[in-house]
């Protein structure tokens, strides 16, 4: 859970909003958690992705795969058991990942300073 908290704090530090953590471990083998957040611009999406990668590197956790960084509309970051979706507001509204994973448990993550 420390890794999930680290990611959520990194996103919060860069002013991402509507941060949702979904526990998908019981419904798929893709990952244990999806972390989904919204940003107001491509610049903010990339800043959030950079912050997550930096904070995870500090924990010694390397990114397995990253997609969408260049266009900044939707960045997907794969940490094997945690998948992070950083999306511009309109993209998140359009794809509505939370509805696709409606059976997933929502996790309330406390942000520690």
pLDDT tens figures, 34-66? 999 999 999 999 999 999 999 999 999 999 999
Q: What is the pLDDT of residue 64?
A: 96
Q: What is the pLDDT of residue 102?
A: 87
Q: What is the pLDDT of residue 113?
A: 63
pTM: 0.93
Burial readout 78-95 (b: 16 or more C-beta within 10 A, e: otherwise) = ebeebbbbbbbeebbeee
Segments in the chain below pLDDT 70: 112-113
CATH number at 62 reads: 3.30.460.10
Residue 113, in any domain of the structure? no
* Structural domain count of the chain: 1
């Amino acid at each position: 859970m420390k890794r999930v908290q680290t990611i959520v704090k990194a996103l919060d530090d860069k002013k991402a909003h509507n941060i949702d953590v979904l526990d998908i471990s019981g419904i798929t083998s893709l990952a244990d958690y999806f972390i989904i957040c919204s940003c107001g611009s491509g610049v903010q999406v990339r800043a959030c992705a950079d912050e997550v990668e930096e904070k995870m590197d500090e924990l010694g956790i390397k990114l397995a795969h990253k997609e969408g960084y260049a266009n900044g509309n939707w960045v997907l970051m794969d940490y094997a058991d945690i998948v992070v979706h950083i999306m511009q507001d309109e993209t998140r509204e359009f794809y509505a990942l939370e509805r696709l994973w409606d059976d997933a448990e929502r996790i309330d993550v406390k942000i520690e300073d």
